[in-house]
Structure 1
Amino acid sequence: MRKLLIALVVLIPVGLGIFFVLPQLIDREMNTVATPPPYRASDSAENLHKTLFIADLHDDALLWNRDLLVRHDFGHSDLPRLLEGHVGLQVFSTVTKTPRGLNYESNGADSDNITLLVMAQRWPKETWSSLLQRALYQSRRLQAAADHSQGKLTLIRSREDFASYLVAWEKDPNRVAAILATEGLHPLEGKLENVDRLYDAGFRIAGLTHFFDNEVGGSAHGLEKGGLTPFGRRVIARLEEKKMLVDLAHASRALIDDVLDMAERPVLVSHTGVEGTCPGTRNLTDAHIQRIAATGGVIGIGYWETAVCDTSVKAIVRAIRYTADKVGVAHVALGSDFDGTVHTPFDTSGLAQLTQGLQEAGFSEADIAAIMGGNVRRLLLENLP
C-alpha cells in the first residue's frame, strides 16, 4: 500500500502536468501553416498592401490560452503579427462547443470536445458546464487584452466607436480594431434573453450554428440540417432589433433560405468557400451567393483546403474571383478561419502575399482595396448599432 501511495504521489502530478500542457500541444499541431514566416511579396504588392485597410471576418484565437498581446511562433495570429500584416480590423469569434468525431457531413449535439479543453486551460469553473459562460469569458479575455494593449487593440461596439477608430487609424495605422462574434448560438442555451447578454458583453456578429444543429436551426454538418426553428425566428428578429449582424457560416442550406426569406438587414458569411471552385457541404451555391449579396451583405472567403480545395494563395484568389464575377467585388471579403484548427498558406503576418495574388489575377487597386477590407468597413459603418 505504501508503494502504491508513493506511486500515486509521483504519477498524479505528472498526469496533471501533461493534462495542462496538452492544449498548447494541440494548438501547435492543429493551427499550422504551409510556409513559416517571414513572408515575402513583390515590391509592388508590399507597397500597395501598406496603403490598405485590411479586415478579416473570422479568427478563433480566443479559444486558446495564448496572450493576444505577445508574439508566438505557432498558431496564426496575435497582436504583433496582426500589426505586421497591416490588419486594421479583426473579427474574433468565440468557440464554445464541438462534437467528438467532428466531421463535415453529420454530427450530433450530444458530445463536446471543448469541456476538457476548458478544464485543461484552467478557465473559471462556471465555464465547465455553461456554453453562455464560455462565450462571456472569451469576451472578457478580449476586453482585457484591449485594456492592456496601450491603445494598439480597440474593441468596437458601435458605429461611433468604429468611426473614431478609423480617424485614429488614418493618422497611425499601427493599431487593430476588434469585433466580437459567436461561432454558433448554442450559448443562448435556448433563452431569448441571452441575446441581450451577449450584446451587453460586446458581441456584434452572431453565427447561428457551428458543427451541429442547435435550438436556432440546422447546421450544414448536423443530423437534420433543417431550417429555422420557431425559437430561431424569434432570435433572428431580436438580433436585427439589436442591430447585430447575422452570420450564415456553417448554416444548412435550409437555414440559409429561411434567414434570407425574413432578413431585413444585410447578412454576412464570415468564413466559407463557394461551390463554383470547391464543391462541399458548407460551401455556398451560386443562388445563395446571389441572395446574400442582394441583402447588401459580404462573403468572407476562407483560406483552408475544404473551403478552396487547396492550401495556396492561388486557390483563395480563384474563389474570390469566382464570387466577384457572380455578384460584384463589393460583396467579397476575407474570412481566414485563422486559429480554427486549420492549415493555411501563411499566418496573418503574410497577408501581403494575398495582395500580390490579387494583383497577379488582374484585380485593380480599387478592387483589391475593397476585397481586402473596404467592403467590411462599409458594412460595419452602415450597420453597427
Structure 2
Amino acid sequence: MVRVVLYVLVALLGLAVVGYFTVAAPIADARYNRVRAEPPYDASARAEALHDTLMVADLHNDLLLWPRNPLQRYDRGHSDVPRLREGGVGLQVFAAVTQVPWGQSYQGTAAGSDQIPYLVAAERWPLRTWTSRLARARYQARKLRRAVGRGEGLMLLRTQADLDTLLAGREENPNAMGTLLAVEGLHALEGTVANVDTLVADGYRMMSLTHLFDNALGGSSTGIEKGGLTDFGEAVLERLKKNDVTIDLAHASEALIDDVLARTSEPVVVSHTGVDATCPSPRNLSDRHVRAIAKQDGVIGIGLWEKAVCGPTAAATAEAMAHVADLVGAKHVALGTDYDGTVLAPFEAGGLPLLTEALLEEGFTPREVEQIMGGNVARVLRRTLPSAEENE
C-alpha cells in the first residue's frame, strides 16, 4: 500500500511538473495581457482612410517576454506581427523586461524581489536566464533577431541608414516593418558598465535607466528613495552617449530625469507614460518635465492603458496627447502603447485606427495625427541612431 501511495505521489508530481512547463506561462500571458474589447474593431470611414496612409510607430511593447512566436497570430495578448500590421504599425520598439518585483502595486518597491525567474523557467528559457538579468536581455534580443530573419518584410533597425531603408521600402511595400530593441531598466547590466557594449552588439539601440524600482544607476518613479543619478549611473550614461544609444526616461524618478537632462544635449524619449495633468500619478510626467524634454527636441510616448491616462478608452489617451500638444506642440507627442506589458488595454493592436479616430475627434489635424502616430518618432531616431559609417 505504501508503495502504491508513493507511485501515486510521484505520478502527481510528474503531472504537476509537466503542467507547469507547458501551460503555466500561456495562462499567465492570457491573464495579464487582456483587452476590454475583442475584435473586430470599426472606426469611422474618415479615420480608416487617414489611418491607411500612416506609418504607426509604437515606442514600447513587451511581447518578447511572453511564450509567443512574434510571427504567429495568437488569440491571447495584445500583439504579434500579424496584428501589428493590421493596426498599421510600421516601426515597433520591442523592450526586454529583465526583472519585475512581486506585488500588484510597485509603489515604494525595492530591487530585491523578482517574478521573472518563474516565468522564464515555465517558458523553458536557457538555464542561465533563470538567474541572470543580462542573459534574459540577450535571450530576448536573439528571439527578435530570429523572427526578423524568418519574417518577410521585417528588419532590425540599428542605424540611420536602416531607418531610411525602412521608410523608402514602405512606399513600395506597406507591410514592411522596422523593429528596434530596447532595454527596460539597466539593472540588466549587472553592475558592469562594459555590458552596455554587449547589449549594443546584440542590437539594442534604446535603453531606460530604471524600471519599477531604484537600481544602481538611480531612482525609479515607483522606487523607495527616488534619487538622482549615482556615480555608476553617470559612468553608464557616458557609455550610452558614446554608443549613440537613445535614452529612455520612462519610469525615471523626477531627480533622475533632471540629472540626465542636465548631462545630455541630444533628444531623449519617454517611451510609455501618462501626464500628471490629466492623470495624477507618481508614474506620470509633470508639465515641467514635459517642457524640459521638448526643449531638447524629445518625444513623449503616451500610453494606451487606464492607469496611464485614467480612462479605459482611446479618448483618454487622445486627451493626454492633446495636453502635451497644447503645452509644447504636437511634434513632441508620440505613442507608447505598453502592449503586452501586463496592462488592460482598450483593444488589441489591430484596433489602432480607433486611436486615430479619437485624435481626430480631439481636434488634431490629419498632419498632426501623422506626426503623433509615427512621424515624430522617425524624426527623433534620425537624430539619435548612429550613422551607417559609425556602425561599421
Q: TM-score by structure 2 length? A: 0.97
Any residues of structure 2 matched to 1:211-360 within 5 Å, and which? Answer: 211-360=212-361
Letter aligned with residue 345 of structure 1: P
The aligned counterpart of 2:186 is: 185
CA deviation string 1:302-321 (max 9, x = no partner) = 01111100110110000000
Letter aligned with residue 316 of structure 2: A
Superposition deviation, residue 101 in structure 1: 1.6
Superposition deviation, residue 23 in structure 1: 1.1
The aligned counterpart of 2:390 is: none
Contact 2:58 2:93 in 1 (8 A): yes
The aligned counterpart of 1:67 is: 69
Q: Distance in 1 between matches of 2:358 and 2:86?
A: 18
Contact 1:68 1:78 in 2 (8 A): yes
Letter aligned with residue 103 of structure 1: S
The aligned counterpart of 1:163 is: 164
Q: Distance in 2 between matches of 1:124 and 1:91?
A: 24
Q: Which is worse superposed, 190-199 or 13-22?
A: 13-22
CA deviation string 1:165-221 (max 9, x = no partner) = 211111111121100001100110010100000000000000111111111111111
Superposition deviation, residue 17 in structure 1: 2.6
- Residue 117 (1) aligns with residue 119 (2): yes
Aligned partner (choices 23, 27, 35) of residue 33 of structure 1: 35
Superposition deviation, residue 8 in structure 1: 2.8
Letter aligned with residue 340 of structure 2: D
- Give 3-state SS (helix, strand or coil) of 1:44's partner: helix
Q: Distance in 2 between matches of 1:318 and 1:244?
A: 30
Any residues of structure 2 matched to 1:103-182 within 5 Å, and which? Answer: 103-150=105-152, 152-182=153-183
- Give 3-state SS (helix, strand or coil) of 1:90's partner: strand
Q: Distance in 2 between matches of 1:357 and 1:78?
A: 23
Letter aligned with residue 193 of structure 2: L
- Give 3-state SS (helix, strand or coil) of 1:206's partner: strand
Superposition deviation, residue 266 in structure 1: 0.8
Superposition deviation, residue 154 in structure 1: 1.0
- Give 3-state SS (helix, strand or coil) of 1:91's partner: strand
Q: Distance in 2 between matches of 1:292 and 1:364?
A: 23
The aligned counterpart of 2:92 is: 90
Aligned partner (choices 94, 99, 102) of residue 100 of structure 1: 102
Q: Distance in 2 between matches of 1:156 and 1:178?
A: 6
Contact 2:166 2:176 in 1 (8 A): no
Which structure 2 segments of 5+ residues have no match?
387-392
Q: Distance in 2 between matches of 1:282 and 1:241?
A: 29
Which structure 1 segments of 5+ residues have no match?
none
Contact 1:96 1:134 in 2 (8 A): yes
CA deviation string 1:125-165 (max 9, x = no partner) = 11111100000000000000011112x22111111111112
The list of structure 1 runs, each at least 4 consecutive aligned residues, that deviate by more than 4 angstroms after superposition, is none
Letter aligned with residue 254 of structure 1: A
CA deviation string 1:209-236 (max 9, x = no partner) = 1111111111111111111000101111
Superposition deviation, residue 102 in structure 1: 4.6
1:81/1:122 CA distance change after superposition, 3 Å: same
Contact 1:100 1:112 in 2 (8 A): yes
The aligned counterpart of 1:196 is: 197
Letter aligned with residue 48 of structure 2: E
- Give 3-state SS (helix, strand or coil) of 1:103's partner: coil
Letter aligned with residue 208 of structure 1: L
Superposition deviation, residue 268 in structure 1: 0.7
Q: Distance in 2 between matches of 1:165 and 1:329?
A: 23
Contact 1:240 1:264 in 2 (8 A): no
Contact 1:102 1:211 in 2 (8 A): no
Q: Distance in 1 between matches of 2:361 and 2:216?
A: 45
- Give 3-state SS (helix, strand or coil) of 1:67's partner: coil
Contact 1:228 1:258 in 2 (8 A): yes
Aligned length: 384
Q: Distance in 1 between matches of 2:322 and 2:79?
A: 26
Q: Distance in 1 between matches of 2:113 and 2:318?
A: 36
